[in-house]
Amino acid sequence: MIEISPCNIESGKVLKKFKEIFSGLETSYGITTMTGEIRDDGKNEAESKVVHKPVTDELWKKHLDGLFPALGIMPIRADNKCKWGCIDIDVYDLNHKELIDKIKQKNLPLVVFKSKSGGAHVFLFCKEYVAASLVRQKLKAMAALIGHSNRELYPKQDYVRADKGQVGSWLNVPYHGGDKSVRCALDDNATPLSLEKFFKVYDSISLTEKDLIHSKIIPTKEDDNDLLKGAPPCLITLLSDGVPKGKRNDTMFNVGVYLRKRFPKEWKGKMNVYNQQFMKPPLDDKEIEDATESLNKKEYRYKCKQEPILSFCESKICVKREFGVGDNVPPPEITRIEKFPSDPPIYIVTIDGKQVEVDKTTLHDFEKFSIEAMDQLHQVLLPMGKIIWRKILNKIMGSKDTYEVLPAPETTKIDYQFKELLADFINKAPGKELKDIKLNKPFTEDGFTYFKNQALQQYLGRHKHFTLAKNKTQKMLEDIFKAVEHHPKIDGKTVRVWKMPTIDLDKPIIRDSKLKDVPFK
């Protein structure tokens, strides 16, 4: 096995090749650091975060040298394209050889890497950047074919909204420490591959965009006896591979649902035929009798959310099958929420890889959210009770893996918008002397600006995008711009105006948090 020394990496050959393979977003990256605390399960507590800085050659080199923290790359770029995708199989006691054999049997263009936890990262590689939605579509089909459709996929999104600060989810790239890393590619015998040998595998297995588009990833075909005609893809794959002990009873129950759909009058007699054909070894007569009796009580549905068929589920294909789920297709799942802290904030909700933008009131109310999902995604969500919806939101927003507050540009904040409008109001048509205030014009003299509250509110009212209430704008004048109520005499009459230091647009905005009474009602 060839070791990668610092001088080899410095030469640029290995570094360049490694970067080409695992490249992604170049403006941000992810890192995981140990906090020093120990969790309840005895493991070290880790903290993951996104660093919004360029991914430099030095970072790649440190990663291959084994320096901490390891480098995390977002596969999806701002143009919503990527060069690789990954199935994250987070199973500690995973049999890597069995997984590799199944991938070979299905003739899938995937490479298995051992993950740090002992599970697997199964990669799909492309020679060029292709649409992330295409990579996810193909990867999802492949995951179902190898019995891991319920695993996380990278990229996690079909697209990101770079204008909202989205950068996508990141994954630690393998070979942290070069050839000495435990996070490495495995050959057909589940033996670790050196970087040099992995590069050769990559060259032979990576796909062009055309290859990926025309690749057909379909469940095992219906057999010669037509026993699986119109069956859900999960059952076709599971039964074609042969159902082992431990999964036979649950599988046979779902087979019974299929048989009731296909053979309404003679399905009971078919149970034994399918038992003998597909179960390894077949269930005994009593077990088949119990399953038949249970199925005879009412019209059951496929147990799509339960194993063993959950791991082989392809709902979009299943709904089109003659004896598939039909109208009982599982509802789309919300997998991630990101808050864009503009004023007011926007919530970007990911549903099966696609995204819908809503405000906080809409997110809190499922019925309103469902309408937005229908309008933006052309997808109708099934009714859901308030308590269930709140529990879903709590679960997602309670985890750093599924909820994130995005960095917001200064221009999206209400403070900044107000400052720009106030500066325009003061400078666009200023008065020439103090008495011009009575004509609703602002007047500036000796470093101070004077204006009537009514004049400012009228100006703000002409900018429909600025919708802050009057009492809040008055509060901001005090907190941010140190404005005070002033009562000068003009033409012998006392006039009630604001007096504030003239705005300096180059100075940052600092809000005074001290609460004050609003002088203008």
Same domain flag for 322 and 437: no
Residue 303 included in any domain: yes
pLDDT of residue 519: 41
Instruction: Say if 509 falls within a structural domain.
Output: no
Round to whole Å and give the CA distance between 76 and 67.
25
Residue that wins the pLDDT comparison between 4 and 495: 495
Tell whether 379 and 270 lie within a shared domain.
Answer: no
Q: Are 38 and 135 in a shared domain?
A: yes
Instruction: Establish if 508 belongs to a structural domain.
Output: no
For position 50, which CATH number holds? 3.90.920
pLDDT digits (tens, 9 = 90+) for 252-273: 999 999 999 999 999 999 999 9
Percent of the chain at pLDDT exceeding 70 = 88
Among 379, 405, 431, the domain-final residue is 405
Residues 10 and 150 in one domain: yes
Average pLDDT of the chain?
Answer: 88
| Structural domain ending residue among the three candidates 356, 386, 405 | 405
Question: Is the residue at 482 inside a domain?
Answer: yes
Confidence at residue 42, expressed as pLDDT on a 0 to 100 scale: 56
Dump the DSSP string for 419-444.
HHHHHHHHHHS--SSGGGGGGT--EE
> Are residue 484 and residue 376 in the same domain, yes or no?
no
Domain boundary among 405, 424, 439: 405
140 in the same domain as 43: yes
What pLDDT is stored for residue 4 in this prediction? 41
Task: Give CA–CA dist 152/143, Å, rounded.
Answer: 10
What angle separates helix 285-297 from helix 248-262, to the nearest 10 degrees?
A: 50
Q: Look up the pTM and report it.
A: 0.75
Give the per-residue pLDDT at 381. 87
Strands (E), 109-231: 111-114, 120-131, 152-154, 171-172
> Would you say residue 518 has pLDDT above 50?
no
- Quick one: pLDDT at residue 353? 85
Closest listed residue to residue 207, CA positions, set 75, 21, 79, 78: 21
Residue 421 lies in a domain: yes
Identify whether 1 is part of a domain: no
179 inside domain: yes
pLDDT for 422 beyond 50 = yes
Mean pLDDT of 364-378: 94
28 plus 173 within the same structural domain: yes
| Domain assignment present for 521 | no
Higher pLDDT, 112 or 465: 112
Co-location of 177 and 315 in the same domain:
no
Q: Do both 366 and 400 map to the same domain?
A: yes
- The count of structural domains within the chain is 4
> Rounded to an integer, what distance in angstroms lies between the CA atom of residue 491 and that of residue 468?
34
Range of the domain at 314: 233-328
Most confident of 224-238, 315-329, 352-366: 352-366
Q: Are residues 394 and 314 in the same domain?
A: no
429-463: per-residue pLDDT in tens?
899 999 999 999 999 999 999 999 999 999 998 88
Q: Measured between alpha carbons, how far is 396 from 400 in angstroms, rounded to an integer?
A: 8
Residue 324: its pLDDT value, please?
92
pLDDT given at position 76: 97
Q: Are residues 377 and 419 in the same domain?
A: no
Q: 354 and 306 share a domain?
A: no
pLDDT beyond 60 at 397: yes
Q: Report pLDDT for 409.
A: 65
Q: What is the pLDDT of residue 220?
A: 54
* Higher per-residue pLDDT: 474 or 518: 474
